[in-house]
Amino acid sequence: MDPSGSALVTGANRGIGRAVALELGRRGLAVVATVRDPDTAGPLVAEAGAAGIALTVQHLDLGAVTPLDLPADLRVVVLNAGTQSGYLPIEAVPLPVVRDLLETNFVGQIAVLHQVVPHLRARGAGVIGVITSSSVLVASPFYGAYRASKAAMSAACESLAVELAPFGVTVREILPGPVATDGLAGSEHLDAVALPPYRAAAERMMASRDAVRAAAVTPEAAAVRIVDTLLADAGPLRSACDPMGDDLLAHWRATTDQERLDRDLARYAPAGDPSP
Ligand SMILES: NC(=O)c1ccc[n+]([C@@H]2O[C@H](COP(=O)([O-])OP(=O)(O)OC[C@H]3O[C@@H](n4cnc5c(N)ncnc54)[C@H](OP(=O)(O)O)[C@@H]3O)[C@@H](O)[C@H]2O)c1
């Protein structure tokens, strides 16, 4: 894709979104960076200005989506903003946490799509990148509510891809593995460890996080992969943006549901695990 026109990135004040916004700007697109609190955008605006990147900031809270001021030449949309929480067994995850995950990671995303899709469809061109998570590819215990909120968007991406293809608009789902951000750091501790019936599995999961942390790439490295994917003229619906994500996606494509479940059972719930 010719890197001209404008891009919109949600959750652009930090983490992956910030790096993607700057990378799109370096490739030559004018960037609309949406942030929940415009007061947090100062460092982003300063870095963009120093790099000669055209970047403007707009307010967007996924819990209360208000009208966006979309540029006429909008052609790249990156739904990046998201929340991670509630690392508990399904039986214990509080319903307000479940509702917040779905509100932010699914309902709010659809509300943004309600605004950007008619715009891109009318132009007859563009790409929508949706950042979900490679966690949807693995039956990790205690991530169920988060994974479900991301899987909901994954399913929506498939439908959206078919709906928009006739109008020249493409959809790309990006499933990150570990990227070194506040979000990843916040997923290190599992509250499930405080629940005796689940303690052994939670401790096993937390120990496995060493390998996850070691595999983490920088947001900047992930952003290069994400922007390459979005600006490519062709490519698959789903892709990763880091080596662990690549491996998980390749394994997911090469195995059956039962093979994957058997692997995850052996990994996280081996025979002899404590019973209640
Ligand atoms: N990092 C990873 O390893 C990883 C792996 C898989 C998937 N992901 C996904 O990648 C995306 C970015 O992750 P990250 O690690 O960069 O996350 P992060 O460091 O936690 O940043 C999250 C971003 O989302 C914004 N956000 C959260 N709730 C919002 C709301 N209600 N309305 C508007 N903005 C909201 C945050 O804004 P505030 O600054 O205002 O809070 C922030 O900009 C997320 O969708 C995440 O689920 C990340």
Total residue length of the chain: 276
The verdict on residue 197 lying in a domain is: yes
The span from the CA of 193 to the CA of 89, in Å, is: 10
Which structural domain range is residue 250 located in? Answer: 6-268
The verdict on residue 181 lying in a domain is: yes
Among protein residues, the one whose CA lies closest to atom 44 of ligand 1: 82
Query: What six digits make up the tokens of 58?
Result: 């707009």
The verdict on residue 161 lying in a domain is: yes
**96-104 mean pLDDT:** 98
User: Using a 6 Å CB cutoff, which residues line ligand 1?
Assistant: 11, 13-17, 36-37, 40, 60-63, 80-84, 104, 131, 133, 176, 178-179, 181-184
CATH classification of the domain holding 158: 3.40.50.720
How confident is the model over 8-20, as pLDDT tens digits?
Answer: 999 999 999 999 9
How confident is the model over 159-189, as pLDDT tens digits?
Answer: 999 999 999 999 999 999 999 999 999 888 8
Pick the closest to residue 155 from 126, 130, 179 (CA basis): 130
The verdict on residue 276 lying in a domain is: no
Q: What percentage of the chain has pLDDT greater than the value 70?
A: 98
The pLDDT-based confidence of 243 (bands split at 50, 70, 90) is: very high
The verdict on residue 118 lying in a domain is: yes
Which residue type, as a one-letter code, is found at position 207? A
Query: Which residue's structure tokens are 């880091």?
Result: 242
The verdict on residue 275 lying in a domain is: no
Cα-based angle 153, 155, 160 (whole degrees, multiple of 5):
85
Which residues are catalytically annotated? 146
- Amino acid 234: pLDDT: 95
Domain count, the chain: 1
On the CB side of 30, how many CA atoms lie within 13 Å of its CA? 10
- Amino acid 274: pLDDT: 63
The verdict on residue 274 lying in a domain is: no
Is the model's pLDDT at 276 over the cut of 70? no
Is the model's pLDDT at 91 over the cut of 60? yes
The verdict on residue 195 lying in a domain is: yes
Is the model's pLDDT at 275 over the cut of 60? no
Q: What percentage of the chain has pLDDT greater than the value 90?
A: 87
C-alpha gyration radius of the chain? 19
Spatial neighbors of 74 by CB under 8 A, at least 6 apart, are 5, 6, 7, 8, 32, 116, 119, 120, 123, 126
Is the model's pLDDT at 4 over the cut of 90? no
Decide: 241 and 226 in contact? Cβ < 8 Å: yes
**141-155 mean pLDDT:** 97
